[in-house]
Structures are given as structure tokens and as C-alpha cells.
Structure 1
Amino acid sequence: MRPTRALCLLTALTWTACATNPSGGEPGGGKPPPGSRAEIEPVAGTEWYRKAVVYEVFVRSFQDSNGDGKGDLPGLISRLDYLNDGNPETHDDLGVDALWLMPVFVSPSYHGYDVVDYERIHPDYGTLQDFERMCEEAHRRGMRVIMDFVVNHSSVQHPWFVESASSPSSPKRDWYIWGPRDAGWKQPWDPFSSSPTWHLKNGAYYYGVFWSGMPDLNMRTPALREEVKRLASLWLARGVDGFRLDAARYLIETGGGAGQYDTAETHAFWKELSAHVRQVKPDAVLVGENWSTTPNIATYYGATGEVPGGDELPLNFNFPLSEQLMAGLNANNAALIASKLVEMGSVYPAGVSDAPMLTNHDMVRSATQLGFNAGRKASAVALLLTLPGTPFLYYGEEVGLANGTTNNDEAKRTPMPWEGTPQGGFTTGTPWFGFAPGHTAGDNVAAQTGVEDSLLSRYRKLIQVRHATEALSRGGLQVLSATTGQATTLAFVRTLGDTQVLVVHNVSDSGASVGPLALPGTTAEVLFADPQVGSLTRAADGWQVSLSGRGTGIWRLQP
């Protein structure tokens, strides 16, 4: 659930590369000073999610099976082979390892983030049997399923809230937060907002930080905490492999202002839930939505001493990196991206798994942010799929799906364009919301399938390369290029054990040279190279390469 204004920060934790391009180009080569934390360390755990590529699905917009214009679970099942057909010998599927389903519980809203019943599937999407069959079919193809689990708040229509509001003596009164008056708290992401957070009901006020239709649950209440853990166990038994946790940093309040976010009580509950989930299903994952600064996101991993990768939330979405990826690509400046990677290395706990993304359902789609520029879109996927952690892809991103034409959130969640027809192959009826521009002009699956230089083919190929090279998924990262000023190339090395993989991206439209890079090895095996990317060669002072505009090269360095 996106706050109306994100809080983001770019810090100046940088280091200076110690070699320069003899042709007068950017700095390249060198290492951070000894003992610094400027590099991202290899992932500590071995669970499936630490080397997975995850695909975010809005079921309502993915595939309609019954002609009512709304996507559903049977429709999703019919498209699973597109995502992963379960056969590693084929290469015409996307090859993702897991699905993240946006809310599928009963809800009065199209988006589902105001839940009415945490145990039932929204009838628009099908039945519990459909959901369980979807999990079975995904598992049969080697994919895991992550479910959106919204426990910061419920719907005002949830029976818990109806009972809580009925009387001050209600047994569930303390399942929500009540007071005799409006406490005047501001929305924490916008202290100047006039939007109320306390709402009048039956002579008292309840707290709902997002709006009156979504009252905040009071996770201080032991009975509610146990109910949330029971629900987690229930869905794990029904086949899910983890949960995405909405609005995670706003869970438990201790007062207004700074007491509304990132409290010690919030961290304590996530540790409690994480321990419960590990006990029920040891390899299940929790993914935190903590839209904040890089140093603050780092705290949500928890302690790493006894639980490799952290005892709180093992994955946390990297919103600041997403912002810098978009900014760097639009400014033709890789230093914006490099500086963020260095900052992550300096503040993230050792061995944790990042969760990078380009955009998600709360953000203007990447194709639109990048000005519909084909080169920038090509660079974006190459960057995302060569970074450490567990990358998340937003449905349709792989075909360049743009934002819709309206200014509401629905425009970020338009139907999936399977083909270039008016109904897009999505439905035989009238789509619940209009398609984004471009779906009839080539931004669709059918038009890009089998086309070697299409964006879809690029996603498929880079996912294959990532899967075939564990250093790209679980390895550490060391930045080798400039972190300040203007830099058109980003170079880094991914390391796992004795394996070193060099990755170089040109984020400009013009050709560029990189090097010398002071790295070991005498030969280089090409894992991926765009057309007109030159051969990586070794001179006396290091590795050198020339790249075409928006070109990417990936090489395994060998003795």
C-alpha cells in the first residue's frame, strides 16, 4: 500500500576508483579501501527464494476465463506455462521461479487491500479449490507462490471491526485502536497532509492511517497476534510459500509522529511472526514493504547471528534502488546507481538478500517513467537481472507495458496484453479497465514472441543467464566504476566462492569504453553480450572492453 508521498534519500557514501580509462573516460577498476563495507556480500542462506526471480501478478488484470472482464484464478492457471512450463530444456517461457499474488481475499474494493475475510477467496477470482489447484499447478512447474497478507489494517466491513465498533465492551474492542477524541495524528509520510487518521464511529474515534475504510488493526492485542499466526499457518497449509507484508513499517503505533512508524514493537512482532512461519514451514519467505530510506530498510532484516540472512524479514523491497535505477537511466548517469549500491553495501547486514525491482503496482510503470525509450527499457532489465538478491518483475513489464491514461492507481494495473486485438487476448468480454496505450502496436506477448531482439526475448534470455550462473543470484557485488559525477557506464563484479563474473552496462545511447579494470583472470567466457559489444580483452594493467549504446556484457573471468 503506497503512501501518498514516498520518503527517499540518496546519501554520499562513495569511494573513489583507483584506475582511470587511458582514453580520458570514466574511472574504472580498483577496490574500496581495505576493511570498508562498500561491497555487498554474498547471500548467507540457501533457501529457494535467495536465488529466485519473482513475478508480481494482479489476478484481476492477468487472464479472464469466463468472459466477465475480470481476471481470475482459472485464467491464471491457463497462463502458467507462459511464466514457467516446468521444462528447463525449453526457452519459450519466461522462466520465473515464483509468483507474488496481489490480494485475493474477499474485499469490497477492486484492489483487495481492505480485507473482509482472511479465509476466503474473492468470488471474482474463483474458489478456494481454484486457489489450491493454482498452487498445485505452479508447484508442478517448479514455481512457488507468495500471497499478499495485509495485516496492518482490515476493511471497515470486516466482522472483526463491526463487532469492535458495536460497543466499548465488545470482546474485540481492542483488536482495533479506539480513543475518545481525534488525537490529531498526521499521516506519517506527509506531516502537512490534511487527511484525517482518526475517524468517528458510534461516539468514539478509531485510527485508520490510510483512510476511514481501512481501520488499523491493534497488533498489541495478544489474541489478535495469535489469530494472525493462525491465518499464516492456514494458508501455508493450503499451499502458499510465503507472504508479502503490506505497509510493514506502520504496524504498531506508540503515539503520533515518530510513534506511527518503525517502532521497536513493530520490529518485535515481525520477528515473532517470522519465527512462527519458520517453524511451520522452514523455507517460507516473508517480504516486507518498507517504503523508506536505505539505512532504515536495512533494519528490517533483523539480527543475522542465529538466522542466516536475518531473523526478521528475509526480503525487503528496495524502493530507493528502484528510484535510482529510473533516475540513472533517464539521466544517462550510472553513478547514481553505483552510489546507491555502495550505500547498500555499507549499511545492509552481511549476507542478507535484497529484493530489487523496477516498479510495482503502486508506481508509474517503468516504460512510462523511461519515456517509452526502447534503449532505456533494454538497459533496465539488464540492470535488474544482474543485481544481487531476488528480483521482482511486475506483470507486463517484460513487454514494455505502459501506464494507462488516467491518474488513478487503476492505470498502473491495466489488463495484461497477450495480443494486439481490442480485447487483448485477456477476455472475451469487456475488460474491467481499459488497456494501456501501445498494446495494439507491439507491446504485447504475441507480437514479441519469437522476435530475437524484442524486450520479451531479452527478459527470457537474461533470466536464463541468471539461473545458469549462481554468482549472479547469490553472489556478492563490488562496484568498479564511478559513484560521483557523470558516468555513462556501470561496472561491477559478482563473486561467489572462486567464481567471478564481470558485468558492464552502458546506460547512454553512445558507445563507451571501460577499463582498465584491475581484476584477476587471464581468459573470459562470454555469458551474455549485446550486439556490437566488443571482446573483453586483458592488457598488462587490466581488462578492457568497448560497448555499444545501451549495451550490456557479462563475462565469467577464468584463471
Structure 2
Amino acid sequence: MPRSHSLRLLPVLALTACVSDPAPPPPSLPPVELAPPAGNEWYRHAVFYEVFVRSFQDSNGDGMGDLPGLISRLDYLNDGDPSTTTDLGVDALWLMPVFDSPSYHGYDVVDYERINPDYGTLEDFERLCAEAHRRGMRVILDLVLNHTSSQHPWFVDSASSRTSAKRDWYMWSDTDPNWAPPWDTFATGSTWHPLNGAYYYGVFWGGMPDLNMKTPAVREEVKRIASFWLGKGVDGFRLDAARYLIETGGGTLGQADTAETHAFWKEFAAHVRNVKPDAVLVGENWSTTPTIATYYGSTDKVPGGDELPLNFNFPLAEELLKAARTGDGNGVALKLAEMRSRYPKGVADAPFLTNHDQVRVATQLAGDQGDLTTVASLLLTLQGSPFLYYGEEVGMANGTTNNDEAKRTPMAWDSSAGGGFTTGTPWFPFSPGRESNNVAAQSNAPGSLLSRYRALIRTRHASEALDRGGLKLLTSTQGRAPTLAFLRTFGEERVLVVHSLSDSSKTAGPFELEAESAEVLFADPTVGSLVRDGGTWSVSLSGRATGIWRLR
């Protein structure tokens, strides 16, 4: 696929001579270096955009977003023209569940081959894929294999009789094994639910019974479903609740991260690679860094891992938000060091800020523009394949309720009554603050959050080192870090990235790097010139500023 944008680069700037009395360098420590992702697949360096179709754009006035509405907004995401700067420039869309479901969220599927009628038809979906591909974007689907709806025909059949042909498509017991949920040591209540004189297993709730992946027919059926959608133009899948697929007993050890779960993902990934070699699988493994690392699998025969080639980096997301709140990047530095020691070499990270299950980043950061600027800058300069959640780029906040719907409110396109989202009544109220946190208000404002996202994505795509390179941390992992600096490298290209995390001006460096000059790829107006003193460099930055230079 063609890159979304090229960037008009500023002229090469000679490094200024001499800094007076530079601070002493930090203690010598082993460098923290992350290798470039192995393999050339598109997804190892793509910028993804997560969309909740119900909340993105309504095309027929019923108050619910739909696929035709999403198609009408594709040019906002990527217009396919590298010479323009008015689109976001993302490379891929992740659609939250679009299959037929009785719920608003869609994570309880009743038909894996039918588009939710609220969203449109299969023909609408195929047109979406074609239009996205025409603009250089890929499309991945949320595929929920851990469980179905209790209304799914498979489960209805399975529950109908102990002798049903699909009885073993789900897990049944004559008595309640009384397994507590695996994600909380102190959780109470059983994950087994009574029905027709027996108990079935549903780790999340009774309305979503777990499929029994130990049954060969179930494994073959879900692989067939994956093939069906890949044949319709899909470029991969986001895999919900990937840690909880195959249980071997009660307790966390038996319900999460089992060897059998890993074995299935190897089997499923091999099937997907066989059907469409460059299709991506993205794992939702909400856990610690050591556990997430295991879901890449082995890199011995498959570059980037033989299980899931992308896995969401939940621990890093926490540290990015913490760095913005506290003005201290030490946690990010330490997390990068832990990734270096835990992740298999050459795998691709999937950094993000928040998603549909979390309080939105703008709410967590209390709408502070400095904080929002900081996390955007960090996310889009780190290694891997960053994921954006719809509305993050304009600072959309949570709704005013405490339910999950408040994390998934309609997109704010403008400040009108329908928000540019619908001509009817929105399915759920808009989040507060949309008078300024909307696309129309920020599109032509050079200092807006949206303008920053657009510029940083263009900058990323203009540099192979930023787009797909390795990372060498220049900030010490010891002590407080009011600035965060790293070197991104790919082939002969080297790019220096420096972030000021605090509200006050800081000097970053000195950095011992060999170069004669530097080319500005991105710099806030308050970023000073790189200054050279012998073999070291330093730079002064105002609060919350970012500078990015290609070294010569």
C-alpha cells in the first residue's frame, strides 16, 4: 500500500557550536535498544484507528452510526492523496464488532456471517473494504472467538439436550464447579451458570457462554469463519479476550494463559497466514508485560512470532498517561527496558492510549491540553504500530454516566444539535465539551490537538526510521526524567526524538551521537536548535514541546 502522506521537510540546519557548562552525563548503563520489527508486512508499521460503527456516522437519521455513514467519512481518515494535509493519514481501520448481535456493543454474536442490520448489509461492508483499499487503508474486524451470545443457534442447540450434536461446542457440567473469575484473586461468584438441569461455563456472564475450543469441530468452524471474512476483503482480526480461550480447571492458572490456549493461537495463526499471508492478528491480552510477551509465540520459523504478530501494550499505555500527568518519563523508560528483556527480538509492539473498555484519555487527563499534547507526541513517535481510539484526536471525553456506553459516545464532527453525526436523535448522548472538542472546530486551527495528530502521523510516514525502525533509549532509567529522548533507526537513517514532559522549559542532553548536521522533521515553535559541543548534543525545549530531527 502507498504511504498515506509525504512531508515537506525543512532545510538542513547546521548544528550550532558550543553549549556553556553542560550538565554531567548520567551514569553509564547498558543501553536500552529495541530491534526493528522483523518482516515487511504492512501491519508492522501501520497507524490503526479504532471505530465503533454505531457512534461514528449515521447515514439515515435513525440516530445510529452505520457502514454507509462510515464510508462517507473515509476521506477524513485518509483521502488517498499524499499531497493533502486535511486528512488524519491513518493506515488501517479496526471495526468493533459488526456481526448480528442482540446488544448495542456486539460482543455477543448470534451470527458470525451476517452484518448487524443496524449497520447495513454485507454489500455495504464489501463496499467499505473496497473504498478503504482504494484510499490505501486496510480493514480489520473484531472477531470474538472466546464466546457467543446465549441466543446463538449453536448454543440453543447445545442447551436443548445432553445428546445434542453441538453439546460439546460449549462446556457443560452436571454440578457447579464454582470457578471464580480468573482476573481478580478476590472475586466471588461462579463462572458456571444453571440451565436445564446442568451448568454451562461463561467467564464474563451468563449471556455470553464460552465456546469449547477443545472440540475439533469448533476449531474448524472458527477457522472457516475467518476464511469467509478474509475472502470478503478483510485484512485481519482483532482477537477479543485472547487469554481466556481454553480452560483446564479453576483458578487463574486453569482459566487464563493456558498452554492449550497458546497452541490454538498457533493453529489459528497458521491457518490465517495460509489463507492470506499478510493478514494481521491483534491480541487483546490485558495483563503484565511478561504475560503479553508470550502471545507472540516463537520467532524461530515465523519472523515476528508464530502466534499473534501484534499485541496491545496495556502496561505501556498506563505509563504514557502517567508520564503526562506527572511530567516524569521514568516509568516509560523502565517499561521500554522491561520490553527489551521480555519481548522476543524483532516483534512489533502495538502501543495505544485508551480503548473502548477504558475511561477516555481526555477524561483521565482532565482535559488538560498540555497532557493531551504530550501523550499524542509519545504515542506517535514510539516503535511499533500505534492504535488511536476514535475521537482521541480531538480530545473527546467520556459521557456523564458510569456505564460502558459513556466510553463509546457519538463522534463529535461539529457543535450542531446533531453534532454532524445524525439528523435524528443520537442513540446515546454526546460527551460534554464537544463545543470545542470536535472536528470542525479543530480542522483549520494550527495549534489544535487534531492538527498535531495529523502532523505527527505525516512526520512518522515521512521517515522509515520513525515508521518501522528500532529504538535506542537515550534517557536514563535511573531517577526522574522530565524529558524523554530516544533514537529511532532504520538502515542508515537515524532520527532523534526529544520530548519535554513537564510544564517548564528543560534542556535535554548531552547525547553522545555522531553527526555533522540535522534536518528538522517536526518541531514545536518553542523548541530550540540542537547545540553541539564536541561529540555531544543538547537541546532546550519549553514545557510540553517535542522536537524530531533526522541526523546527517
Match of 1:461 among 439, 450, 455: 455
TM-fit CA distance, 1:220: 0.5
Q: Which amino acid is the alignment partner of residue 249 of structure 2? A: G
Match of 2:409 among 409, 414, 418: 414
Detail structure 1 runs of 4+ shifted over 6 Å in the superposition.
none
Match of 1:399 among 394, 397, 407: 394
TM-fit CA distance, 1:485: 2.6
Q: Write the deviation string for residues 361-405 of structure 1: whole angstroms up to 9, x where unpaired.
A: 001111111121001101111100000000000000000001111
Match of 1:273 among 244, 268, 289: 268
Distance of aligned partners of 1:134 and 1:116 in 2 relative to their CA distance in 1, 3 Å threshold:
same
The question of whether the paired residues in 2 share the 8 Å contact of 1:53 and 1:96 is answered with yes
* Structure 2 partner of 1:445: 439
Q: Within 2, Cα distance between the matches of 1:541 and 1:133? A: 56
TM-fit CA distance, 1:482: 2.6
Written as runs of structure 1 = structure 2, the 5 A alignment for 1:137-152 is 137-152=131-146
* Structure 2 partner of 1:526: 520
The question of whether the paired residues in 2 share the 8 Å contact of 1:336 and 1:484 is answered with no
Q: Which amino acid is the alignment partner of residue 351 of structure 1? A: G
TM-fit CA distance, 1:74: 0.4
RMSD of aligned residue pairs (Cα, Å):
1.4
* Structure 1 partner of 2:331: 336
* Structure 1 partner of 2:7: none
Q: Within 2, Cα distance between the matches of 1:482 and 1:454? A: 31
* Structure 1 partner of 2:545: 551
* Structure 1 partner of 2:202: 208
Sequence identity of aligned pairs in percent?
70
Match of 1:69 among 60, 63, 66: 63
1:32 aligns with 2:27: no
Q: Which amino acid is the alignment partner of residue 541 of structure 2? A: L
The question of whether the paired residues in 2 share the 8 Å contact of 1:301 and 1:312 is answered with yes
Q: Within 1, Cα distance between the matches of 2:550 and 2:337? A: 22
* Structure 1 partner of 2:14: none
SS at match of 1:123: coil
SS at match of 1:360: coil
* Structure 2 partner of 1:425: 420
SS at match of 1:493: strand
Q: Which amino acid is the alignment partner of residue 432 of structure 1? A: W
Q: Within 1, Cα distance between the matches of 2:468 and 2:346? A: 9
* Structure 1 partner of 2:478: 484
For structure 1, the 5+ residue unaligned runs are: 1-20
1:118 aligns with 2:112: yes
Q: Write the deviation string for residues 443-495 of structure 1: whole angstroms up to 9, x where unpaired.
A: 00000011111100100000000001011121111111132332210011111
* Structure 1 partner of 2:36: 42
Match of 2:321 among 326, 351, 369: 326
The question of whether the paired residues in 1 share the 8 Å contact of 2:178 and 2:189 is answered with no
* Structure 2 partner of 1:6: none
TM-fit CA distance, 1:262: 0.4
TM-fit CA distance, 1:195: 3.6
SS at match of 1:355: coil
For structure 2, the 5+ residue unaligned runs are: 1-19
Q: Within 2, Cα distance between the matches of 1:502 and 1:73? A: 41
TM-fit CA distance, 1:39: 1.5
TM-fit CA distance, 1:23: 5.2
Q: Which amino acid is the alignment partner of residue 464 of structure 2? A: E
Match of 2:158 among 164, 168, 182: 164
* Structure 2 partner of 1:9: none
Written as runs of structure 1 = structure 2, the 5 A alignment for 1:48-197 is 48-197=42-191
SS at match of 1:389: coil
The question of whether the paired residues in 1 share the 8 Å contact of 2:212 and 2:246 is answered with yes
1:369 aligns with 2:364: yes
Q: Write the deviation string for residues 211-244 of structure 1: whole angstroms up to 9, x where unpaired.
A: 0000000001000000000000000000100000
* Structure 1 partner of 2:289: 294
SS at match of 1:273: helix
Total equivalences in the alignment:
533
Written as runs of structure 1 = structure 2, the 5 A alignment for 1:469-508 is 469-508=463-502
Q: Within 2, Cα distance between the matches of 1:184 and 1:484? A: 46
Of 485-494 and 114-123, more deviation after overlay is shown by 485-494
SS at match of 2:419: coil
Match of 2:307 among 294, 309, 312: 312
SS at match of 1:354: coil
* Structure 2 partner of 1:12: none
Q: Which amino acid is the alignment partner of residue 348 of structure 1? A: Y
Match of 1:245 among 239, 243, 247: 239
1:231 aligns with 2:225: yes
* Structure 2 partner of 1:350: 345
Of 332-341 and 229-238, more deviation after overlay is shown by 332-341
Q: Which amino acid is the alignment partner of residue 380 of structure 2? A: L
The question of whether the paired residues in 1 share the 8 Å contact of 2:513 and 2:535 is answered with no
TM-fit CA distance, 1:30: 6.0
Q: Within 1, Cα distance between the matches of 2:330 and 2:425? A: 46
Of 185-194 and 202-211, more deviation after overlay is shown by 185-194
